A and B are shown apart, each in its own frame.
Chain A
Amino acid sequence: MRRTQTNSLDRTIAWVIAGLILYLVAVYFPFLAMQSHGIANETALISGIVALYQQGMGVMGLVVLLTCLILPLFTMLSLLYILLPLRVGLRLPRAAWLFAWNQRLRPWGMMEVYMLGILVSMVKLAKLARIIPGPALYAFIALIFVLAAASVSLDNHLVWDFFQSSMMGDTPDKQP
């Protein structure tokens, strides 16, 4: 048993930066393409949301936008905003408030569920057309493991203890 994990902060920061890079690839590039009757069509995360909006299903598009694009990005960016200054013993304004929201909103970021959705659609369409996996698919798979690693390696108590000591006005005795 260890009270805190070794290098918790450094490892989490590294995983989050890796996650951000994979996120950009996963969002920007198409993850699936299908070919049938001489017509090809490819899809990226955003094109599904746009297609829903065009069919008058904007509410549903909004749900997908929030759970698969905005919340995962918020989780990663807010962690960087909190953890990078924390490494050198600094605390930016609203950091504790952001960290509390980061914890609360975590179950609503559902990129790994989206990945399962991609797999199901691939099987569903495999019999109708030729399905070609795109570069974003691999980024998606990697991203799920990276996000999981980031949340496992972060020791929440460490962050809260730091906010506690900076709240009391004293400098933390040792750098976390």
Chain B
Amino acid sequence: MNTLPLTARHANLISCQSCHLLSPASAESTPCPRCGRHLALRKVNSLTRCWALVLSSFILYLPANLLPITITTTFGRPAHSDTIMSGVIYFLQSGSWHIALVIFVASIFVPLMKLILLTFLLASLQLGWRWRPLERTRLYRLTEVVGRWSMVDVYVVTILVALVKLGAWAKVEAGPGAIYFSALVILTMLAAESFDPRLIWDQMEEQQ
């Protein structure tokens, strides 16, 4: 049975990651002749890099969610600090459930789901599972597309900080959680970028 489609790797070719120009395999780790990007058959150290970024993100997830992201001072009342979750609850209680949903999905659900999916994909590669390669590739594409929308809370903090400066009446300051949260979003985006979905298919070929 020889129904395997031809891949660049079998044809002794390297596909450039940026412009997809095919170069001979002997050109590995030289710059691509068309766009200048370093040629590599697969993303370099994909699994190690991705694991490192995923684990760091898991660690950052805790302070990002537990520490306050904004500190509001209103005249005559003690300073009031908000975490991401308390912001969601505030929106729920004030009746704007759709905004509560946006914040919950973008800031709490998506980062965690992304990390769990990437951990699952990494584990599936390391343990050599042959389970549903197509679905796993699709899961990866999902983590890649959806991650940037988590930045929305960082921007909300930026806008509130600049807008709510009403002299002695009200003031909003960014809390320490906001920095951890921006770092979390950036690291999960880098983690998704460093994962190479072609490794899933390499494994399927090896075990054929």
Contacts and interface: CB of A to CB of B under 8 A. Distances in A.
A116 interface: yes
A41 B161 contact: no
DSSP class of B's interface residues: helix, strand, loop or mixed?
helix
B110 to A, nearest CB: 12
Contact of B160 (A36, A67, A113, A124): A124
Nearest to A64: B158
Contacts of B96: 123
Given A37-B169, A127-B94, A52 B34 contact: no
Interface stretch (A1-9, A72-80, A93-101, A143-151): A93-101
Contact of A60 (B18, B164, B178): B178
B37 A100 contact: yes
A104 to B, nearest CB: 6
A59 B153 CA distance: 16
B35 A96 contact: yes
Interface residues of A, number: 49
Nearest to A34: B163
B169 A39 contact: yes
Contacts of B152: 113, 116-117, 120
B179 A32 contact: no
Given A47-B162, A110-B151, 17 more contacts: A32-B159, A43-B162, A48-B162, A49-B158, A50-B162, A52-B174, A57-B174, A59-B179, A59-B182, A60-B174, A60-B178, A100-B19, A107-B193, A116-B155, A117-B156, A120-B156, A123-B91
